[in-house]
Amino acid sequence: MITATTEAPVNGASIRLRGTQVTAQSDSAGRFTLRDVPIGIVTIEVRALGYAPVSRGDIAVSPAKPAEVTVALRKIDVQLQSVTVRPDAFPRQALPSTPVSTQTYSSEEVRRQPGAQEDVLRAVSIAPGVGVTNGARNDIVVRGGAPFENLFVVDNVEVPNINHFGSQGSTGGPISLINIRFVESASLSAGGFGVRYGDRASSATVLTLREGNRERLSGEINVAATQIGAVVEGPIGENASFLANIRQSYLDLLFKAIGLSFIPAYTDATVKAVWRPTRNDAFSVLAIGARGTVTFNNDSADDRLSNAQVLAPAQDQYFSGLTWKRLLPRGVVTTTLGRTWTRFVTAQRDSLLSPIFESRSTEGETTLRSDLSFTPRSNLQLEAGTIFKYASALRFDASLAGFVRTDESGAAQPLSVDTSFTALRNGTYAQATWSANDRVRFTVGLRGDWYGFLDNAVRVAPRASISYLANDATTLSFSAGRYWQAPSFIWLVGAEQNPQTLRPFRADHAVVGVTRLIGSDTKVQFELYGKSYADYPTRPFRPQAVLSPSGFDDATTDIPFGLEPLNSLGTGHAYGGELFIQRKFGESPFYGQAALSYNRTRFRGLDGTEARGAFDTPWLGNAVVGWRPNAKWEVATRVRGATGLPLTPFRTTGPQAGTLDFTRYNTQRLDAFFAADLRIDRRFILGGRQLIAFVDLQNITARSNRGAPQWNPRLQMIEYSDGIGVLPTIGLNLEF
């Protein structure tokens, strides 16, 4: 039990298991223990003098291990008059603590998401305003921004890409390397977030991984749609715990079984340990490592032709963090030493097995950040921090065939580069949040970023927000701010002049919203937003376009990974609105959410013509509805729909047939996307063990969602790949 702003332990809080007489009280360290709790999913209610009462649902209780729960309480003015106050999932007695455009999901909400394929990024993609590029990837597209505009933070470590087979220079991939059972909470800010996070222009996704239990040794064995894994956790002495996991995919077996000629496989492992030597100090260490490989079956001419259109991204990577959290009398200091490292081995060959594209590179970066949160008065919170990043191991060895890398006139411009460099940068910020009274709160912040590897560029980002509690159920909010982002490292080696012509680009955000609480567990939110881009990377070889990549499946379609001349002369804008309704699991057995978003995104390239953004999706909609009739059964369904993404058509005649016609850049669209998924969970108690079995039926309507077209060089024609129909998967998780 902790205070939300300072993380100080809350002594004397009263905790009750909803629907029972099981109660407990937190001690001086903020810890509590509820005993005789029934197996299944439960809800607790928490009350403490001077804090807003809160209910915390979706707590999974197993006979094999204790459930570790952290509840953050928000301070309110003590009311001496006689009132009736009930704990709510969305507390009414104070202004919301989360910023505008931010949605937070608990571990259970993430785990049970239909169609998520055990992937935390697919699970959080149900947030309003978030789209995806296609069903085979988990790229997150936030309010029309490209996937590379998203920041990912895992246990206070900023991670460039948290995916197996991740896209170099971007953030997406086929599947996350984060074990979904390690996630304690996942928070996605779609815009207007504060100055603590920077160097990203669109969004911030913060993942907090849970601690291992501190009472006894326990474990899990899980089998999912694409992988098998094992988890072990438990105490280390009296004041420490650990959590460890290893997973191995069996994608190679599935791909061979359905006759595909390219075979991916991956392995990952995670270790987290936490030590609390004193009441005011906590040390944690996190290490996650992964390996992914792709092999090809080139036995037949058809296999070789098919493989010639596949870019294979083999990848080794790890990231780690050592964090020290120190509680102060009125605040908390968090310091993290982090390290990220990835080796990319990417290749594509033609049907004669001659190289089209080859790249071997490593990107390694060490970070040191320290963040202070201080509350000198009950109505004032001060935050400040700094982060240094030193990329000491940036090595790029790449070659690209001339027929792929052509200039505006169609002339071949082959690339061969073998270089290395280092990069140093810093971000420093300060922010103040002042509550003028119980109804009005102001936040003002300033962030400065220095980019040593971009000719010592310095950029300043002011941000501000205001929240007004109109009544105990309605909150109005407004935020505005500037966001800067540096170009991806690989873009700097695409042409000799790129380090001089590229500079940080910016996005100015403005968001206005209203939130209405209905009952104890339902929230309705409506937001309008606008983004204005400047200094966006443009492409002299493709003057109609800006650089906005997600993943590259085929290097012959377009110049991959920004390996071309680039400069920072693009502009753009995005605007839209979002309606979001969320019902938390509570007294009713039903829960769910629904979101409807409208967005328009436009960019201007070097030719000065305004065109659709690559991720302009006018309409996005999704809904999740779940039913938990008892502790054993749970049924949930997810429905997603979206306008098709823009696309640039192929030239079909002449010497440039089979190349994209950028004179018609983004003038066409894919067909509208629609998919419905169904998941059924069943819990079994086997002695002192719990078995969770689930069936996840993806795309239950069997709709064929076409992907982007491809050019068939043998037939000299355009081909479309239809998506997989109904995809049933079975999962098992045994806790012991």
Q: What confidence tier does 70 reach under pLDDT thresholds 50, 70, 90? A: confident
Lowest mean pLDDT among 190-199, 578-587, 645-654, 714-723: 714-723
The pair of three-digit structure tokens given for residue 399, joined into one six-digit string: 């070659």
Among 9, 5, 67, 71, CA closest to 38: 67
Tens of pLDDT, residue by residue over 509-541, are 999 999 999 988 899 999 999 999 999 999 999
Looking at residue 50, its pLDDT comes to 81
Contact 424, 452 (CB under 8 A): yes
Looking at residue 42, its pLDDT comes to 82
d(CA 269, CA 293): 16
How much is the pTM?
0.92
Tens of pLDDT, residue by residue over 496-513, are 999 999 999 999 999 999
Looking at residue 463, its pLDDT comes to 97
Half-sphere exposure of 153 (CA within 13 A, CB side): 20
- In the chain, DSSP finds a helix count (H) and a strand count (E) of 5, 42
List, as own/partner pairs, every contact residues 108-112 make where C-beta atoms lie below 8 angstroms and the sequence separation is at least 24, other chains included: 108/41, 108/58, 108/59, 108/60, 109/58, 110/180, 110/183, 110/186, 111/180, 111/181, 111/183, 112/626, 112/634, 112/636, 112/679, 112/681
d(CA 662, CA 551): 19
d(CA 261, CA 254): 11
- Which residue ranges does the chain devote to CATH 2.60.40.4130? 2-73
Kindly state the average pLDDT of the residues 221-250: 92
- CA 84 to mean position of chain CA atoms: 39
pLDDT of 266 above 80: yes
Provide CB contacts within 8 A for 692, sequence distance 6+. 681, 682, 683, 684, 731, 732, 733, 734, 735
Looking at residue 534, its pLDDT comes to 98
Contact 513, 527 (CB under 8 A): yes
d(CA 531, CA 574): 5
The structure tokens 């490209």 sit at 146
d(CA 283, CA 334): 10
Looking at residue 615, its pLDDT comes to 94
More confident residue, 303 or 591: 591
Lowest mean pLDDT among 223-237, 543-557, 664-678: 543-557
pLDDT of 95 above 80: no
Query: Which CATH class for the 2-73 domain?
Result: mainly beta
d(CA 439, CA 443): 14
Q: What confidence tier does 406 reach under pLDDT thresholds 50, 70, 90? A: very high
Among 38, 28, 33, 42, CA closest to 15: 33
d(CA 233, CA 640): 36
Looking at residue 137, its pLDDT comes to 84
Looking at residue 55, its pLDDT comes to 83
76 burial level (CB within 10 Å; 0-12, 13-18, 19+):
middle
Half-sphere exposure of 509 (CA within 13 A, CB side): 33
The pair of three-digit structure tokens given for residue 58, joined into one six-digit string: 């979706």
Looking at residue 434, its pLDDT comes to 95
Tens of pLDDT, residue by residue over 651-681, are 988 888 888 999 999 999 999 999 999 999 9
In 10 A of CB 419, how many CB atoms?
Answer: 13
Among 207, 157, 166, CA closest to 339: 157
Burial 653-671 (b: 16+ CB within 10 A, else e): eeeeebbbebeebbeeebe
Kindly state the average pLDDT of the residues 133-150: 89
Q: Which helix (H) or strand (E) holds 271?
A: strand 262-278
d(CA 83, CA 74): 18
Looking at residue 708, its pLDDT comes to 83
Cα radius of gyration (the chain): 26
d(CA 32, CA 13): 9
d(CA 15, CA 718): 63
The structure tokens 């246990």 sit at 155
The pair of three-digit structure tokens given for residue 626, joined into one six-digit string: 């779940």
d(CA 123, CA 139): 12
In DSSP terms, 103 is beta-bridged to 188
pLDDT of 94 above 70: no
d(CA 698, CA 202): 29
- CA 62 to mean position of chain CA atoms: 28
d(CA 615, CA 201): 15
Looking at residue 245, its pLDDT comes to 95
Distances (CA, A) of 183 to 6, 121, 211, 271, 594: 22, 11, 10, 13, 23
Looking at residue 86, its pLDDT comes to 60
Lowest mean pLDDT among 120-124, 163-167, 249-253: 249-253
Distances (CA, A) of 39 to 43, 299, 631: 12, 53, 7
Q: Which helix (H) or strand (E) holds 123?
A: helix 120-124
Tens of pLDDT, residue by residue over 296-323, are 888 888 888 888 888 888 999 999 999 9
- Which residue ranges does the chain devote to CATH 2.40.170.20? 102-412+433-735
The pair of three-digit structure tokens given for residue 191, joined into one six-digit string: 């815009």
Contact 499, 454 (CB under 8 A): yes
Looking at residue 82, its pLDDT comes to 43
What ranges make up the beta strands (E) of 54-164?
54-61, 72-73, 102-106, 130-131, 141-142, 150-154, 157-158, 163-164
Mean pLDDT of the chain: 90
Kindly state the average pLDDT of the residues 129-144: 86
Looking at residue 92, its pLDDT comes to 59
pLDDT of 27 above 90: no
Looking at residue 96, its pLDDT comes to 64
The pair of three-digit structure tokens given for residue 671, joined into one six-digit string: 């067909």
Kindly state the average pLDDT of the residues 224-230: 86
Lowest mean pLDDT among 147-151, 248-252, 573-577, 592-596: 248-252
d(CA 253, CA 575): 44
Provide CB contacts within 8 A for 259, sequence distance 6+. none
Q: Architecture of domain 102-412+433-735 in CATH? A: Beta Barrel (2.40)
* Strand 141-142 relative to strand 150-154, pairing: unpaired
Contact 676, 698 (CB under 8 A): no
∠ CA 293-296-298, rounded to 5°: 165
* Strand 646-647 relative to strand 633-642, pairing: unpaired
Kindly state the average pLDDT of the residues 233-251: 93
pLDDT of 91 above 80: no
Q: Which helix (H) or strand (E) holds 577?
A: strand 567-583
Residue by residue, DSSP assigns 287-336 as EEEEEEEEEE--SSHHHHHHHTT--EEEEEEEEEEEEEEEEETTEEEEEE
